[in-house]
Amino acid sequence: MHKPQLLTILGATGSIGVSTLDVVARHPDRYRVLALTAHGQLDRLVEQCIVHRPRYAVLAEPARLPELASRLAAAGCGEIETLAGIEALEYVACLPEVDAVMAAIVGAAGMRPTLAAARAGKRILLANKETLVMAGQLFMDAARDGGATLLPIDSEHNAIYQCLPQPFSDAAEQGVRRILLTASGGPFRRFSQAELATVTPAQAVKHPNWSMGRKISVDSASLMNKGLEVIEARWLFDLAPERIKVVVHPQSVIHSMVEYVDGSVLAQLGNPDMRTPIAYGLAWPERIEAGVAPLDLFDIAQLNFEAPDLDRFPCLALAFEALQLGGAAPAVLNAANEVAVDAFLAGELDFVGIARVNAATLRGLARDFDAASLESLTAADAAARQMARSLLRLAV
């Protein structure tokens, strides 16, 4: 009989959080939710609290805290303690009784609570790639020093984790030549440059294979998401950038591969459903049912692969450039991209303009900050956002 694991879910109302709660609900004897957090989706957070009865409900924005408290009381959930703000997010990520933290806040906003969980030695189900993109070395050092257990939830990194005999040990000593990150290519894989210039937000958020939030869907369409995953993999698996290769695989069945020096290539396959890596992270080193349909290879019939087109999708090349520049360059790129994607979704920037803003900001600020401290990285993030917004006003 398992003692139930107590969970904090950072970003409970997003797609990863919703999928996590779906898996948790399938195993009520194994998991209990201690804290749920949300940015602005108050309606969904209230619904989740009614079903899962956490001890804490946390909003990132303090302004709506009274509304959350009153609505929970009206729903008969007055015993749930309501908190708000970044310090509250850090608090529920570090609760002594918490066994595991699902880090699923999208963007730079997730860095501080995820870093706090690492310092507290928690079991971290890492779905917030920006923490590693912005503060890779700091985060990995904090996880090591705090005794945290890292379990990657991004499908690609989870696949690599499953294909490595010792995921966080020296790859060369394990005979690893390189890792192969697969990318679906997004909805515009066959679009010409002229067609990309006319892409609308409604088109960009419709991913052909995955159900994801708006921001990550746009990143997938521009291949920026794959670029961020390259940076994440560099830190997570301690690999030089030249040992990370991106392969476009439209079916999204092979989630990533590891190539060994003897010629072997190990791959992890499955239907494109985030509940698979979530269930893996929750139950590791065991396996549990995730509600995912079995993979039918006969129905799929074929698997295709091609090289990414860096001329049409320059955001991927910018990620490798940021790694080469080093220091705070990845944090600068990430911040610029968040501003650019927000502008695109608001109709203030065309799709190809995302890469233009990212490139100009990266090359303008990359060497101005180091990555030696959280303060320096935070300053780089703020400066990059300011510059990206200035570029938007100049219609770069």
User: What is the 8-class DSSP label of residue 255?
Assistant: E
Cα–Cα distance, 123 to 241 (Å, whole number): 27
- The CATH code that applies to domain 5-153 is 3.40.50.720
Sequence-separated (6 or more) residues with CB below 8 Å from residue 19: 274, 275, 278
Q: Tens of pLDDT along the chain (396 residues)?
A: 568 999 999 999 999 999 999 999 999 999 999 999 999 899 999 999 999 999 999 999 899 999 999 999 999 999 999 999 999 999 999 999 999 999 999 877 889 999 999 999 999 999 988 889 999 999 999 999 999 999 999 999 999 999 998 887 778 788 999 999 999 998 999 999 999 999 999 999 887 776 677 888 999 999 999 999 999 999 999 999 999 999 999 999 999 999 999 999 999 999 999 999 999 999 999 999 999 999 999 999 899 999 999 999 999 999 999 999 999 999 999 999 999 999 999 999 999 999 999 999 999 998 899 999 989 999 999 999 999 999 998 865
Cα–Cα distance, 139 to 103 (Å, whole number): 13
Q: Does 5-153 match 326-396 in CATH topology? A: no
Whole-structure pTM value: 0.92
Cα–Cα distance, 357 to 160 (Å, whole number): 31
Neighbours of 288 (CB within 10 A): 14
Sequence-separated (6 or more) residues with CB below 8 Å from residue 316: 223, 224, 226, 227, 230, 246, 308, 310
Cα–Cα distance, 171 to 287 (Å, whole number): 25
For the chain, give every domain's residue range. Answer: 5-153, 155-320, 326-396
Cα–Cα distance, 130 to 72 (Å, whole number): 31
Question: Token pair of 204, please?
Answer: 């960009």
At residue 39, φ and ψ (nearest 5 deg) are: -90, -65
Which of 252, 248, 229, 272 is closest to 190 using CA atoms?
248
Which of 124, 48, 40, 128 is closest to 84 using CA atoms?
40
Query: Could you tell me the CA-to-CA distances from 393 to 337, 349, 363, 386 in Å, in that order?
Result: 15, 10, 18, 11
Q: Indicate the fold that domain 326-396 takes in CATH.
A: Rna Polymerase Sigma Factor; Chain: A (1.10.1740)
Query: Could you tell me the CA-to-CA distances from 26 to 3, 86, 126, 289 in Å, in that order?
Result: 16, 31, 21, 8
Q: Helical H runs in the chain?
A: 15-25, 42-52, 65-74, 86-93, 111-119, 129-146, 155-163, 193-196, 201-204, 214-222, 224-236, 275-283, 297-300, 314-325, 329-345, 353-365, 374-393
Query: Could you tell me the CA-to-CA distances from 272 to 73, 75, 154 in Å, in that order?
Result: 38, 36, 11
CB-based burial label for 118 (10 Å; 0-12, 13-18, 19+): buried
